[in-house]
Structure 1
């Protein structure tokens, strides 16, 4: 049965794709919530089986995605992001096999539900570490099967190396095949070189952040930090002491951003799903780690309303 695997391009997405690839083989396409519908139409072709991994359901397209998935002989959806109301129910009603749970990484869910070779538990652990999903019973159990020091080294090389590769999808597909064979990330020369470069970039960006950080009432942000957005959003939150930190990269007419918070006072996923569409954008993710895209022309207004919303929400929690 011809299989196409659609996965997010970060550590959790790549490792879950490797687990699926070890079971089904097939082709791998890297996608994201907004692009998933178009990618299904462009790349699925005559495939009989489609597997979607670590890609949340976008508010504007999830119904069309569900309908599209129902057309395949077998469709599998594995994810851990919060979903639009009724999204999972519609998928299941249309015959899609759904494995969804908030808390675990998608890699953990793929390992638990796809029955890959047992040794690929190590690959699933990389995905969990890369996505900070390390508080599950499964993680603690399987952590004991491997050396924790080597495990975190390999996960770090993989996570940072993937950040450096960005949209080099051919290299990422190569990584999927290597990880499906349980090859160590530290043994893959191009990945190690990418990880080293990214680690140095991240440290330089962290040191330069105070001079670039814009601090508002309840959010702090940096534009074009030159390093992974997720990490720089965390540093923005930590260095400013504000409830929410953002790192923004301008890509032509779009502002692409990551948001981080560790205070617990605001649900970033819920807030962005509501706020971003009002600015012709889209957003979502997890409660304390999320992302959004808005047109550059609307960015200033978006940030101002976001700041007000976080101030209002967090003030109620005090």
Structure 2
């Protein structure tokens, strides 16, 4: 039994080509201070959605080198906080008031710590990557899946990177891609259910859950889908 969008109280804003932070900013921009526009950019960069007209326009207002530094502090530090929800709420409060991430010394220290770990991971992941056609993948590498997928792709020069983690009889994975003609969301929504799993997300950043016995079949299906694209 489904429901109609019209039955949901309030207003619904949905746009697949923009990050959530950009959508929120667009709705509230006439009611917030200009400093808070930076938070919209932080979120867009974090979602790999920083090339939209709105975000590019916002970037021109600021020194984008500083904006990317501030975003890096957020992206590198927050995964280390795990279940520290009260601290995360404080971070959100600071961001909503216009403060940059660098104003929080703990975030800065955690970001530096994570950046050093990441450099070690880049060195170690090389020997774990496998390649099938235009898809590089790594399985059960001890590092955040999204980043592992990026480095699997980057270090092999492929179009798609996949990082999976075995959890019982299921493999959870993150998939990252480059190329304006690739749509991971469409590919995964088509092939994952046929393999007993699910998947979807953004065109260039998505996720999937697949029975572990079908992991390599999924890799092959993704590669087949990429090879069918007329670049």
TM-score (norm 1): 0.64
- Which consecutive residues of structure 2, in runs of 5 or more, have no partner in the other structure? none
CA shift at 1:91, angstroms?
A: 2.0
Structure 2 contact 187–225 (Cα < 8 Å) conserved: no
Q: 1:214 to 1:289 in 2, by over 3 A?
A: same
Instruction: Supply the distance in 2 between the matched residues of 1:313 and 1:153 (Cα, whole angstroms).
Output: 33
Q: CA deviation at 1:239?
A: 2.1
CA distance in 2, matches of 1:267, 1:136: 16
1:249 aligns with 2:162: no
Q: Cα distance 1:287–1:110, how it changes in 2: closer, same or farther (>3 A)?
A: same
1:45 matched residue in structure 2:
none
TM-score, normalised to structure 2, is: 0.86
Match of 2:133 among 217, 226, 237: 217
Matches within 5 A, 1:1-318: 63=2, 90-115=4-29, 116-118=31-33, 119-264=35-180, 266-294=182-210, 298-317=211-230
The 1-side partners of 2:85 and 2:196 are apart by: 28
Greater relative contact order structure (CA < 8 Å, 6+ sep): 1
Distance of 1:260 and 1:110 partners within structure 2 = 25
Deviation, structure 1 residue 309: 4.2
Q: CA deviation at 1:127?
A: 0.9
Q: For the structure 1 residues 316 and 147, does the alpha-carbon distance in structure 2 shift closer, same or farther, using more than 3 Å as the test?
A: closer
1:248-278 per-residue CA deviation (whole Å, 9 max, x = no partner) reads: 2334554221111114454210121233334
Q: After superposition, what is the alpha-carbon deviation per residue over 1:45-89, rounded to whole angstroms, capped at 9, x for unaligned?
A: xxxxxxxxxxxxxxxx9x4xxx5xxxxxxxxxxxxxxxxxxxxxx
Q: Distance in 2 between matches of 1:257 and 1:230?
A: 8
Is the 1:260–1:290 contact (alpha carbons within 8 Å) kept by the matching residues of 2? yes
| Pairwise CA distance, 1:211 | 0.7
Contact 1:198 1:227 in 2 (8 A): no
Paired with 2:168 and 2:102, the residues of 1 have a C-alpha distance of: 35
Helix, strand or coil for the counterpart of 2:163? strand
Alpha-carbon distance, 1:226 to partner: 2.7
1:96 Cα offset (Å): 4.2
CA contact 1:284–1:291 (8 Å) conserved in 2 = yes
Length, aligned pairs only: 229
Where do 5+ consecutive residues of structure 1 fail to align?
1-60, 68-89
Root mean square deviation, CA, Å: 2.4
